[in-house]
């Protein structure tokens, strides 16, 4: 059964649309249940449009949502790839590209003046106007050429002229009133306009426009995800204005609702008063997707403000629209474009005023950073007819039974009572915050378990063997060292090595040298090394190119010529001396140095001559190291000396066996690794995480 056209009025209780019910002879609000008898309803019908509202049946207290009862589809962002580029472009640039001829007519228009035939005052205007109004006596005049032809000038309508709509809402708000309303909006949101000459621009650049819109009823049933969980809601938008011109920002235009269509009138451009730009409707994909893009932006903010939510994500929805008959109308708007000097990457400000009601809106747009609006309702609110824009409150609903019967609930029934901010993390188990919190807890627990295991339970086999041996370990203690060497046995001692070699003590004549630039080499050695050392090894070689014939690895049996760098020994120097450890002098030998450099080699490449590479391997003074040796019969066995570095596995084992490991180092190292792992986990979740249902 096809829905019949019906009439809707504004509910005096909740503001939602109330539909005529023939049985009760009045208007019933399906949202709050309020009833207004026909005799008392403040109802005025408009003959210019034929409104086709769909009644919302209520059966046994349940809403019958047949028109949006089909399965929801995943919400998609319908914004075009170049939407931001268009939104940040100036209106003049868009107009010049869209309709160059009309743009040039407006850009090159001339100022005209006439003598008022009634009071002889001077009337001024522009060549793009048809009707001129005398500021002194209030009478209006029209040039004879316009009156006789009935035409609105050549190429003065942007777009295809025959497509113009023949209904209009008249300008009720004057330019002066629009300026005052915008200035009040600026005053109430001063921080948003900081650093802008917005007041000057409002007074000098505000322009009047007529924009084409479709008027239709739009219904949406959607499921959203919030910090408190998921729920489904239903909303009606009655007499919603859908922009039919994509040259203007639809999100700014949407903020100008509501409109009162009870004041619509026939539109004849030739008799249009004042200096107003007229736009014909555009036939493109953007006007088709406009309502969905506006809903995609509107719904989260609407639900946040209505239900006190902090996070709202659209998941799935089903929509239905019902267009009225003869409901194509031109809406009056006072418009202020972005500043002419602002670039695409700058913070741009656009403003608009509903020229029927006086509602003002400002859009703040910075590509990739800011995109929000501020609005100011007229004061006092205008008196509007029943055929105006009406938004029903969003109603949480739940499917109950066929056919498409839904139960209405309040938000606490749908989501449960609000919880604390901390507990709210657990209400949305698929949210990024929840998963991040769980990941943090897991990393902290694992790190704590690993720290406890390493500190109290884990012992390496090598450390265990060391603990069970008779080896004595001395760490940075002169007294313990002196005591240890009085008893025979194996000793591991950690302390500072004191060098006995000074560079000035080295005879550079000992340099085994085979080149001609010995002075240069000597100078480089002196500049590289300074102070005392335990051991110095100097090596230099000549670099040269060598071309050899080698077998081609890709073609068996064939050969290719290959150039490679080769080095020939050039000069040598090795110098050993005694070193001091805990005040005792020990001999330095090549085998002793080899035992140390097996674990830690320090190489310094200090310079490069034109064809030489110079390297100096050295062990500097006051360097902490482990010295391993044996005491036999009260004497240190010089042949048993072995050196170990402080960053080796030997260092770790000896410290653990002596219970001298730093707990802070172990804890810090594990926490650093855990923090890195946690950061990687969060990054992966944010990049690849998805809500499970859609």
DSSP assignment of 40-57 equals T------SSSB--BPP--
Higher pLDDT residue, 7 or 390? 390
176-203 average pLDDT score: 93
Q: Of 485-494, 550-559, 680-689, give the lowest mean pLDDT range.
A: 680-689
- Burial class (CB within 10 angstroms; exposed 0-12, middle 13-18, buried 19+) of 341: exposed
Residue 501 and residue 645 in one domain: yes
Residue 598 has pLDDT above 70, yes or no: no
Residue 278 and residue 381 in one domain: yes
pLDDT for the residue 438: 80
Closest C-alpha among 324, 397, 376 to residue 48: 324
Higher pLDDT residue, 13 or 360? 360
Q: How many domains does the chain have?
A: 2
Quickly list DSSP for 335-395.
Answer: EEPPPTT--TTS-EEEEEEETTT--EEEEEEETTTEEEEEEE--SSPPP--SSB-EEPPPE
Does residue 7 belong to any structural domain of this protein? Answer: no
Choose the most confident range, by mean pLDDT, from 67-76, 342-351, 543-552, 604-613: 342-351
Share of the chain above pLDDT 90, in %: 23
180-200 average pLDDT score: 93
pLDDT (tens digit per residue) in 205-231 = 999 999 999 999 999 999 998 888 899
Higher pLDDT residue, 56 or 355? 355
CA neighbours within 13 Å on the CB side: how many for 144? 0
Does residue 168 belong to any structural domain of this protein? Answer: yes
Q: Are 214 and 196 in contact (CB under 8 A)?
A: no
Share of the chain above pLDDT 70, in %: 79
Higher pLDDT residue, 607 or 406? 406
Q: Are 429 and 226 in contact (CB under 8 A)?
A: no
pLDDT for the residue 152: 56
Does residue 669 belong to any structural domain of this protein? Answer: no
Q: Are 130 and 153 in contact (CB under 8 A)?
A: yes
Residue 538 has pLDDT above 90, yes or no: no
Q: Of 217-226, 427-436, 505-514, 642-651, give the lowest mean pLDDT range.
A: 427-436
Picking from 381, 397, 415, the residue at the C-terminal end of a domain is 415
Residue 470 and residue 559 in one domain: yes
Residue 178 has pLDDT above 90, yes or no: yes
pLDDT for the residue 41: 45
Residue 402 and residue 472 in one domain: no
Does residue 142 belong to any structural domain of this protein? Answer: no
* DSSP for residue 305: H
- Report the C-alpha dihedral over residues 478, 483, 489, 493, rounded to 10 degrees: -10
pLDDT for the residue 564: 79
pLDDT (tens digit per residue) in 313-355 = 998 999 998 888 878 899 999 999 999 888 888 899 999 999 9
Residue 200 has pLDDT above 90, yes or no: yes
Which residues 6+ apart lie within 8 Å of 269 measured at CB? 130, 152, 156, 157, 164, 278
Residue 483 and residue 393 in one domain: no
Residue 284, domain extent:
73-99+159-415
pLDDT for the residue 10: 65
Pairing of strands 472-475, 489-498: parallel
299-324 average pLDDT score: 90
74-102 average pLDDT score: 86
pLDDT for the residue 183: 95
Does residue 652 belong to any structural domain of this protein? Answer: yes
Higher pLDDT residue, 693 or 199? 199
> How high is the mean pLDDT of the chain?
80
d(CA 405, CA 401): 6
433-444 average pLDDT score: 79
Residue 239 and residue 179 in one domain: yes
Choose the most confident range, by mean pLDDT, from 150-159, 262-271, 490-499, 590-599: 490-499
Higher pLDDT residue, 134 or 1? 134
pLDDT for the residue 608: 42
pLDDT (tens digit per residue) in 611-630 = 555 565 667 778 788 888 99
Closest C-alpha among 224, 226, 222 to residue 406: 222
pLDDT for the residue 5: 47
Residue 580 has pLDDT above 90, yes or no: no
pLDDT for the residue 613: 59
Closest C-alpha among 393, 430, 225, 369 to residue 311: 225
* DSSP for residue 266: E
pLDDT for the residue 337: 94
Residue 485 and residue 612 in one domain: yes
Residue 201 has pLDDT above 90, yes or no: yes
Q: Are 570 and 609 in contact (CB under 8 A)?
A: no
Residue 316 and residue 381 in one domain: yes
Residue 389 and residue 482 in one domain: no
Which residues 6+ apart lie within 8 Å of 544 measured at CB? 565, 566, 567, 568, 611
365-388 average pLDDT score: 89
Choose the most confident range, by mean pLDDT, from 50-59, 610-619, 627-636: 627-636
372-380 average pLDDT score: 93
pLDDT for the residue 387: 86
Pairing of strands 623-632, 489-498: antiparallel
Residue 45: pLDDT band (50, 70, 90) is very low
Does residue 680 belong to any structural domain of this protein? Answer: no
Higher pLDDT residue, 22 or 694? 22
Residue 296 and residue 353 in one domain: yes
Residue position matching structure tokens 């000597």: 522
Does residue 404 belong to any structural domain of this protein? Answer: yes
pLDDT for the residue 116: 80
pLDDT (tens digit per residue) in 237-275 = 999 999 999 899 999 999 999 999 888 888 777 667 678
Q: Of 77-86, 439-448, 520-529, 602-611, give the lowest mean pLDDT range.
A: 602-611
Residue 29, phi then psi, degrees to nearest 5: -90, 115
Question: Could you tell me the pTM of the whole model?
Answer: 0.58
Residue 510 and residue 370 in one domain: no
Residue 393 and residue 507 in one domain: no
Residue 658: pLDDT band (50, 70, 90) is confident
Q: Of 35-44, 556-565, 657-666, give the lowest mean pLDDT range.
A: 35-44
Does residue 333 belong to any structural domain of this protein? Answer: yes
Closest C-alpha among 184, 288, 180 to residue 244: 288
pLDDT for the residue 677: 85
d(CA 17, CA 11): 6
d(CA 421, CA 408): 27
């Amino acid at each position: 059964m096809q829905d019949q056209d019906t009439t809707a009025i504004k509910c005096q209780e909740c503001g939602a649309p109330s539909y005529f019910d023939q049985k009760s002879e009045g208007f019933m609000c399906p949202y709050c249940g309020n009833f207004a008898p026909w005799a008392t309803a403040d109802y005025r019908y408009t003959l210019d449009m034929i409104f086709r509202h769909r009644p919302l049946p209520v059966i046994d207290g349940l809403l019958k949502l047949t028109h949006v009862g089909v399965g929801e589809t995943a919400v998609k962002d319908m914004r075009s790839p170049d939407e931001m580029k268009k939104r940040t472009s100036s209106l003049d640039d868009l107009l010049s590209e869209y309709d160059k001829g009309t743009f040039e007519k407006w850009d090159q228009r001339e100022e005209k003046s006439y003598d008022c035939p009634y009071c002889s005052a001077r009337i001024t205007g522009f060549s793009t106007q048809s009707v001129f109004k005398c500021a002194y006596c209030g009478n209006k005049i029209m040039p004879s050429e316009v009156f006789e032809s009935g035409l609105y000038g050549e190429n003065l309508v942007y777009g295809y002229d025959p497509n113009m709509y023949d209904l209009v809402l008249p300008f009720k708000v004057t330019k002066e009133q629009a300026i005052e309303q915008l200035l009040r909006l600026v005053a109430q949101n001063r921080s948003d306009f900081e650093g802008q000459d917005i007041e000057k621009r409002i007074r000098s650049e505000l322009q009047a426009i007529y924009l084409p819109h479709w008027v239709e009823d739009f219904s949406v049933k959607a499921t959203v995800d919030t910090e408190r969980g998921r729920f489904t809601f239903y909303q009606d938008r009655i007499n919603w204005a859908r922009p039919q011109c994509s040259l203007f920002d639809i999100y700014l235009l949407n903020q100008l609702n509501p409109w009162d269509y009870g004041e619509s009138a026939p539109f004849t451009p030739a008799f249009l008063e004042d200096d107003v730009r007229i736009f014909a409707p555009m036939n493109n994909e953007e006007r088709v997707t406009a309502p969905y893009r506006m809903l995609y932006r509107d719904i989260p903010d609407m639900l946040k403000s209505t239900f006190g939510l902090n996070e709202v994500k659209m998941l799935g929805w089903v929509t239905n629209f019902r267009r009225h008959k003869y409901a194509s109308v031109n809406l009056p708007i006072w418009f202020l474009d972005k500043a002419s000097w602002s670039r695409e990457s700058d913070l741009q400000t656009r403003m608009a005023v509903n020229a029927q009601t006086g509602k003002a809106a400002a859009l703040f747009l910075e590509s990739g950073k800011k995109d929000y609006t501020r609005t100011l309702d007229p004061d006092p609110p205008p008196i509007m007819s029943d055929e105006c824009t009406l938004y029903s409150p969003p109603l949480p609903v739940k499917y109950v039974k066929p056919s498409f019967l839904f139960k209405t609930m309040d938000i606490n029934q749908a989501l449960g009572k609000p919880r604390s901010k901390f507990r709210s993390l657990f209400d949305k188990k698929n949210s990024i915050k929840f998963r991040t919190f769980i990941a943090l807890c897991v990393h902290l627990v694992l790190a704590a378990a690993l720290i406890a295991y390493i500190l109290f339970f884990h012992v390496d086999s090598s450390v265990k063997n060391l603990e069970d041996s008779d080896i004595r370990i001395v760490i940075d203690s002169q007294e313990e060292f002196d005591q240890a060497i009085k008893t025979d046995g194996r000793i591991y001692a950690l302390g500072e090595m004191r060098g006995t070699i000074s560079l000035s003590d080295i005879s550079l004549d000992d340099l085994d040298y085979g080149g001609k630039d010995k002075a240069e080499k000597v100078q480089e050695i002196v500049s590289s090394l300074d102070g005392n050392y335990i051991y110095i090894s100097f090596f230099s070689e000549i670099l040269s190119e060598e071309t050899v014939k080698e077998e081609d690895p890709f073609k068996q049996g064939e050969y290719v010529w290959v150039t490679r760098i080769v080095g020939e020994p050039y000069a040598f120097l090795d110098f050993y001396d005694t070193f001091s450890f805990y005040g005792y002098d020990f001999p330095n030998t090549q085998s002793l140095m080899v035992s140390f450099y097996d674990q830690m080699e320090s190489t310094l490449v200090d310079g490069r001559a034109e064809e030489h590479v110079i390297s100096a391997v050295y062990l500097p003074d006051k360097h902490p190291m482990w010295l391993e040796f044996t005491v036999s019969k009260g004497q240190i066995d010089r042949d048993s000396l072995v050196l170990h570095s402080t960053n080796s596995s030997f260092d770790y084992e000896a410290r653990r066996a002596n219970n001298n490991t730093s707990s802070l180092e172990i804890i810090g190292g594990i926490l650093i690794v855990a923090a890195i792992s946690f950061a990687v986990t969060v990054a992966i979740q944010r990049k690849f995480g998805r809500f499970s249902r859609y």
